[in-house]
Amino acid sequence: MKVGVVTFPGSLDDRDAARAVRAVGIEAVALWHGDADLHGVDAVILPGGFSYGDYLRCGAISRFAPVMTTIMARAKEGMPLLGICNGFQILCESHLLPGALTRNHELHFLCRDQKLRIENNTSAWTSAFDAGQEIVIPLKNGEGSYQCDDATLESLEGEGQVVARYVGADPNGSRNLIAGITNAKRNIVGLMPHPEHAIDSLTGPTADGLPFFTSILTQMVGA
């Protein structure tokens, strides 16, 4: 049982994501952006950072990396895929998830401990949560405002594809306070906050991020 973590040039939280994967007893495999081979992994995480310097648009260049071709094909077949922060942006640019992440409404980079409500516990990455559970994990980005058209928003809400929502003061102007979404198959999740930075209360605000990784463990054991 292996989870791959992709390193693009400019990825920052790749080692943190690998640490979080190992923390729940799964082997983490480093994947390189230029290598289309997924080296036998069962699931993939696209970590946070500023891949390719976020030039052009966040995630716009990474989407064309050789590794993404394979990932996109496998994810469409149902392979669990989690995009965190810059990874979420890449998922949107890849059209694996709808919508886009734009500049925070206050136009600043914002790093804070953020309260979230888990709205959907049926995705591959959120099954270990209770529905409606509130957690606190770090949020840190400059372009985290989730935007989409009305029809997409209605569909996301109607189909239960919103996996997490911000609770309390609006951090970035996201539509309907959306912090994360999933696809119809529930195998792909994009999340703006960082569960990999909340795996213990020594280095994070809480250990509330761990269930994202235990969810995938359960999913893979069950599969």
Partner 1 sequence: MSLDTVQSAQTTPDRIQPFAELGLKPEEYARIREILGRRPTSSELAMYSVMWSEHCSYKSSKVHLRQFGEKAPHSDALLVGIGENAGVVDVGQGYAVTFKIESHNHPSFVEPYQGAATGVGGIVRDILTMGARPIAVMDPLRFGPADAPDTRRVLPGVVAGIGGYGNCLGLPNIGGEIVFDETYAGNPLVNALCIGVMRHEQIKLAKASGAGNLVVLFGARTGGDGIGGVSVLASETFGADGPAKRPSVQVGDPFAEKVLIECSLEIFAEDLVVGIQDLGGAGLSCATSELASAGTGGMLVALDDVPLRDPSLSPEEILMSESQERMCAIVEPSKIARFLEICQKWDVTATVIGEVTDGNRLVITWHGEVIVEVPPRTVAHEGPVYNRPLAKPAYVDRVAREILELPLPSDSEALKEAIYKLISSPNMADKSWVTSQYDKYVQGNTIQSQPEDSGMIRIDEQTHLGVAVSTDANASWSYLNPYEGAKLALAEAARNIATAGARPLAVTNCLNFGSPEDPGVMWQFAETVRGLADGCLEMGLPVTGGNVSFYNQTGEVAILPTPIIGVLGVIQDVRARTPMSHSAGDLEIYLLGKTEQDFAGSEWAYLHHQRGGVAPTSDLKKEMRLIELLLEGQEIFEAAHDVSQGGVAVTMCEMVLRNKIGATINLVDDAAVALFSETPGRVIVVVDPRNSERLVELAKKFEIELTELGRTGGALLRINEIEIPLAELDLAYTSTFPRLFG
State how far the Cα of 31 lies from the Cα of 45, in Å rounded to an integer: 10
What is the spatial distance between Cα 47 and Cα 65, in angstroms, rounded to a whole number?
14
204 binds partner 1 (CB under 8 A): yes
How many other C-beta atoms are found inside a 10 Å radius of the C-beta of residue 131?
A: 12
85, 119, 143, 197: the active-site residue:
85
Instruction: Quickly tell me which residue has 């980079």 as its tokens.
Output: 109
Closest CB 7 distance from partner 1, rounded Å: 9
Q: Does 185 bind partner 1 (CB under 8 A)?
A: no
Would you say 67 or 96 has its CB closer to partner 1? 67
* Residues in binding contact with partner 1, number by CB under 8 A: 29
Site for partner 1 in 24-83 (CB under 8 A): 48-50, 52-55
Taking CB under 8 A as the criterion, the residue among 4, 5, 6, 13 binding partner 1 is 13
Cα 136–chain centre separation = 16
> In the annotation, is 143 catalytic?
no
Q: At what angle do helices 210-222 and 14-23 cross, to 10 degrees?
A: 60
How far is the C-alpha of 53 from the C-alpha of 219, rounded, in Å?
34
Q: Around Cβ 45, how many Cβ atoms within 10 Å?
A: 31
Q: For residue 72, give both structure tokens.
A: 């996109």
Contact between 143 and partner 1 by CB under 8 A: the answer reads no
Shortest distance in whole angstroms from residue 11 CB to partner 1: 8
- Closest by CA position to 61, among listed 73, 49, 74: 49
Q: Can you tell me the distance from the alpha carbon of 130 to that of 146, in angstroms, rounded to the nearest whole number?
A: 24
Nearest distance, CB of residue 59 and partner 1, angstroms: 14
- Range in contact with partner 1 (rule: CB under 8 A) among 67-75, 92-100, 115-123, 193-201: 193-201
CB of 131 to partner 1, least distance (A): 27
Which residues from 90-109 bind partner 1, rule CB under 8 A?
108-109
- From the list 110, 167, 207, 220, which residue makes contact with partner 1 (rule: CB under 8 A)? 110
For the record, the structure tokens of 181 come out as 């979404």
Q: Out of 33, 93, 148, 194, which one is annotated catalytic?
A: 194
Three-state DSSP at 158 gives helix
Q: Is 77 a catalytic residue?
A: no
Q: Which of residues 145-164 bind partner 1 (CB under 8 A)?
A: none
How far apart CA 192 and CA 89 sit, in angstroms, is 8
Q: Which residues of the shown chain bind partner 1 in the complex (CB under 8 A)? A: 9-10, 12-13, 15-16, 19, 48-50, 52-55, 108-112, 138, 140, 142, 194, 196-197, 199, 202-204
Hey, which residues are catalytic here?
Answer: 85, 194, 196
